[in-house]
Amino acid sequence: MNAKTRNFIVFSAAGALLLASAFLALRLGSVPLSSAEFWGGMLQKEGYETYTAIFYSSRLPRVLGAILAGVAFSQAGTLLQRVTDNPLASPSILGINAGAGFAVLLLLVCAPLAYAFLPLAAFLGALLATVLILGVARSAGMSRAVIVLAGVALSALFQAGISFLSVVDPDALSSYIDFSVGGLHGVKTEDLLLPAVLILACLVASQLLSKKLALFCLGDTLAGSLGVSVKRVRLFSLIAAAASAAAAVSFTGLIGFVGLIVPHTARALVKGNMRGELCLSPMLGAALLLLADLLARTLFAPTEIPVGVFTALLGVPFFLALVLRRKRHV
C-alpha cells in the first residue's frame, strides 16, 4: 500500500469517526433522544419545542465546544512537540494551563462574584505564561531545551501561586475546583464565537508553517542551511500553539492530556507527513473530546463527571508509557 492510499484511508476513517462521535454526542445524554425527538427538535417542528430547546440550548453548543477544544489542544500539542523536539511537550506541561489556572483563582480571590470574567481571566493567564516563556527563551536564543525548561519552571511557579492563594482564601478554592478539572457543562454558543475565530486562525497559520516545521526534524543547523529561519518559525509556532490553547481553556477549563495523546497518534498514522499530521491531529482531537464528554454525561447519568477526569484516565498511562519508552531508547 502506497503512502497516498494509506493517507486516504486514514483521513476517511478519521472523518467517519468524527462525524459518528458528533452524531452520538447530539443524540445521547442524560436525556437520550429518540429518532423522532432528535429530528423534530433539530428541524424545530411544532410540538417538539422541548427537544428543540435541548438540542439548540444544550447539546449543539456542547458539541461545538468539544470540537473546538479538541482541535485547539491537539493542534497546540503537535506544534509544541515539533518545535521543542520533545514528545512529552503539551500545553499542560509547559505552563500554559497553569498560568490560566492561577489567573482564574486570583480573580476569584479578588472578586468572588465576577464569574462572568473567568473566561477572560483564563485567556489572559495563559497568554501571560506564554509571554514569560517566550521572553526567557528569546533571551537565551530560542533553543529547544530553554523553551521546555522555562515552561516547566513557570508551571511550578504558577502552581506555587495557586497553592498560596488556596491557603489565603479557601472559599475561592471551592469555586476554582470546577475550572481546574475542566468540562463543557453550561457552554453557550455565544461563548464560542471569539475562541472559534482565534482557533481557526491558528489552524490556518499552522498549515502555512507545516513545510518549514517538517525540516525541524533535521536539527536547527541543517534546517537553517536549507533556508528556514529557525528562530522565527519557532516563535510563530509557539504563539499559534499558545493562542490556540488559551482560547480553548477560556471556555473548557483545564482539560489535560489531549495535546499529549493525539499528536502521537496522528504522527504514527501519517509517518513523515507534517502537513498530514497537522490536519489529522485536530480531527482526532475533536473526536476524542466528543467521546470523552459523551462518557462524562452518560456513564453515571444523571450525575455528570468532569470530562477532564476521563482525559486524565487516558493520558496518565499514556504519559508513563512514553517516559518508559524513552528510557529504553536512551
The whole-number pLDDT of residue 201 equals 92
CA distances to 47, 111, 123, 246, 259 from 238, in Å? 50, 31, 16, 12, 14
For the record, the C-alpha cell of 38 comes out as: 432528535
How does residue 141 score in pLDDT terms, banded at 50, 70 and 90? low
146 lies in some domain: yes
For the record, the C-alpha cell of 103 comes out as: 489567573
Count of structural domains within the chain: 1
22 lies in some domain: no
281 lies in some domain: no
Residue 261 scores a pLDDT above 60: yes
For the record, the C-alpha cell of 323 comes out as: 517516559
Which amino acid, one-letter code, is at 304? E
pTM for the model: 0.88
287 lies in some domain: no
The model's pLDDT over 73-127, given as tens digits with 9 standing for 90+, comes to 999 999 988 888 777 778 877 788 888 889 988 988 888 877 778 888 888 888 8
Q: Which of 100, 76, 75 lies closest to 242, judged by CA?
A: 76
Look up the CATH number of the domain holding residue 108: 1.10.3470.10
56 lies in some domain: no
Residue 26 scores a pLDDT above 60: yes
The whole-number pLDDT of residue 327 equals 55
205 lies in some domain: yes
Residue carrying the nine cell digits 477572560: 120
State percent of the chain over pLDDT 70.
96
110 lies in some domain: yes
66 lies in some domain: no
The model's pLDDT over 264-308, given as tens digits with 9 standing for 90+, comes to 888 888 887 788 888 999 999 999 999 999 988 888 777 788 888
Give the other-Cβ count within 10 Å of 279's Cβ.
20
CA dihedral in degrees (121, 122, 123, 129; nearest 10)? 100
- Domain containing 129 equals 72-275+304-329
Residue carrying the nine cell digits 468539544: 66
Q: At residue 182, what are phi and psi to the nearest 5 degrees?
A: 75, 145
Tell me the Cα Rg of the chain.
20
Dihedral sign, Cα of residue 136, residue 138, residue 140, residue 145: positive
Q: Could you say which DSSP state residue 94 is in?
A: T
